[in-house]
Structure 1
Amino acid sequence: MKKKIPYWFWVGIASWVLIILLRRNDIYIPVINDHFTDFITIPMYCCLIEYIMNSLPGCHWKPDLKFVLTSVLYLSFLFEVLCPKLSEKFTGDVWDVLAYLAGGLIYYIFQVRRFQAEK
């Protein structure tokens, strides 16, 4: 049986699409535009990597805390340090890093820890 991508991943994609449409229509909701997208980035990233890994034959992988924290560091460096140096469209913000971290920890607690408890 092929593993399906969780419904909340699709909720995240729908949220991003909605936010992009709002931005294109010059509708700006500060918390949503500034931090919500960062908050859902790590859970969606981890879910996508988990889906790809588990699509391989014989592989049953779940991200651990080290993977989640490394993902937070990687994406924080990429989007909050490197990208602002390359483009004016990006801004480096400590609050965004905290949103990545909060999203990652919530993903870990509710997805990974819950999975381990069910075993």
Structure 2
Amino acid sequence: MALFLVHQLLQKGFSIDVPFVHAYLDPLLSIPIMLGLLSVERNWLFDRKRLTVLDTVISTVVLAVVFEVFFPRWSEAFTYDPWDFLAYALGGLLFWFFVNPRTTRETT
């Protein structure tokens, strides 16, 4: 969240554009945000505190394919970039290690 806010401040507030960050920050952060929302929903509906590795991998792959394959076919506002898949994968890892809550049994 802080990374996103710093990027927005630089880009919109100070008119400083960092092309690499501008190109890949959205794919990188979209997975932790969306899987975080999925985790909250699963916790609320099913009392599951943590997504499994399989949940995380499948969700990341499906979202990456939707964002990078289907969206560009539906609208010219979206463009295909094969490097975005790496950003989505890194976002999945960020979610797994930093967002997905560990249970007490796993930490002991």
TM bracket (short chain):
0.7 to 0.9
Aligned alpha-carbon RMSD (Å): 2.9
What is the Cα deviation at residue 111 of structure 1? 3.8
Structure with higher RCO (Cα < 8 A, 6+ apart): 2
Structure 1 runs not aligned, ≥5 long: 1-10
Once residues 89 and 29 of structure 1 are traced to their aligned partners in structure 2, the CA distance between those partners, rounded to angstroms, is: 20
Alignment of 1:43 with 2:9, yes or no, is no
Identical residues among aligned pairs (%): 27
1:118 alignment partner in structure 2: 107
1:104 alignment partner in structure 2: 92
Once residues 51 and 19 of structure 2 are traced to their aligned partners in structure 1, the CA distance between those partners, rounded to angstroms, is: 31
Structure 2 runs not aligned, ≥5 long: none
**C-alpha distance after superposition, 1:1-33 (max 9, x if no partner):** xxxxxxxxxx26x827x64x946x975321221
TM-score, length-scaled by structure 1: 0.70
Say if 2:32 and 2:92, in contact at 8 Å, map to a contact too. Answer: yes
Say if 1:72 and 1:97, in contact at 8 Å, map to a contact too. Answer: no
2:70 alignment partner in structure 1: 82
